[in-house]
Amino acid sequence: MTKTKRAAAGGLLMLSCYFVSLTGFLSGGGGKNTKLSRRRKLDRKKDIYQLASPDGHFRRQPSTFRSTISRAPNAPFPPEKDRYVLYLTTGCPWAHRTNIVRTLKGLEPIIQLVLLDPRLGPDGWRFSGEHGSAPQDPLYGFTYLRELYEKAEPGYVGRYTVPVLWDRKRETIVSNESAEIIRFLDTEFEAVVAPGDAVGYSLYPERLRAEIDEMNAWVYDRVNNGVYKAGFAATQEAYEENVYPLFEALDRIEAHLGSEEYHGPYLFGEQITEADVRLFTTIVRFDVAYYAIFRCSLKMIRHDYPRIHRWLRTLYWDESERTAGGAFRKTTDFDALKLSYSYTQQKQLGNSNTIISAGPYPHILPL
């Protein structure tokens, strides 16, 4: 079996779900029962909830599987119906963005969706049959996501993250990089989607690409990843170095939405773009999770950022053809995401119980 290509230095920003990004998961040596593999498993269970580096800073690690689906002749991963499976947990914002694009682009009948338990256990993401997850992996009967990684690459040593886009034919991972997955879901499946199933626009229009790329870069660093750099900081210095730039970036977005050049309702005018998708999955979690759990508590979206708040609600409550009948709302699971963040926080604190915050109420206000 051909191994999935690994990422080279550079390229798109490496985005995958934070829970496993810094745990340094080590496989069990391809299943061999050695002292080293047993020690690695013990280390993995001990360290899975330790998310900061020794200096107290959170640093996201690169994704490892970086192939792409392409319409190009003789491409190893061509767009086909019923060939690919998208694995994710609804608590994860990086995985959430792939599910939004899957829905916007009419790929629900084309790409199978498999949900994992939103709680990160000592052995990583798992199938439990609880909280909307599958009882087991429908393809191979696996219990843990790590088993899928090890099937793709026996002896795999690395991180077991979501999202995962799996190829049934080659029995391997195409990609676990959300930024790249949403790009090729947007562009490569038009020929296999039934007429009328997808929104009739590109999320990455050529005329806006430079501006989208520029916004994606600083939004990723200061906002998407910024909430984690603040939330997982292990020292006061690391926290303060990241929480203030986060809110400066939110101030910048608020000003952008009020600029004369972009009249809204979206980040770049009348058309939803990739930039909206990437920002949405962070902002929709902000008041209900990041504000309290991640100590991102200088301001709230609903009270302090009126333009961002309207932008958020416009996307969430829209059930028109523009959002393929509600792609943003249908893919947002507030109960699962609050459980995910609360569970991990309690494990970091050494608590055996998971206490989930009651507020804010409602999770999102009406438009």
Active-site annotation, residues: 92
* Residue with token string 């009126």: 306
Helix (H, G, I), strand (E, B) or coil at 112: strand
Structure tokens at 337: 């995401």
Residue 70 has φ and ψ, to the nearest 5°, of -145, 145
As a whole number of Å, the end-to-end CA separation of the chain is 51
Angle, alpha carbons 230-234-236 (nearest 5°): 75
Q: What amino acid occupies position 164?
A: V
Angle, alpha carbons 231-60-296 (nearest 5°): 15
Structure tokens at 221: 């660093």
Please, what's the b/e burial string for 188-216 (b: 16 or more CB within 10 A of its CB; e: otherwise)?
Answer: bbeebbeeeebbeebbeeeebeeebeebb
User: How far is Cα 63 from Cα 95, in angstroms, rounded to an integer?
Assistant: 13
Going by their DSSP bridges, the two strands 164-167 and 112-115 should be labelled as unpaired
Does residue 111 contact residue 95 with C-beta atoms inside 8 Å? no
Query: Of the candidates 221, 215, 225, 322, which has an alpha carbon nearest to the alpha carbon of residue 265?
Result: 322
Does residue 167 contact residue 148 with C-beta atoms inside 8 Å? no
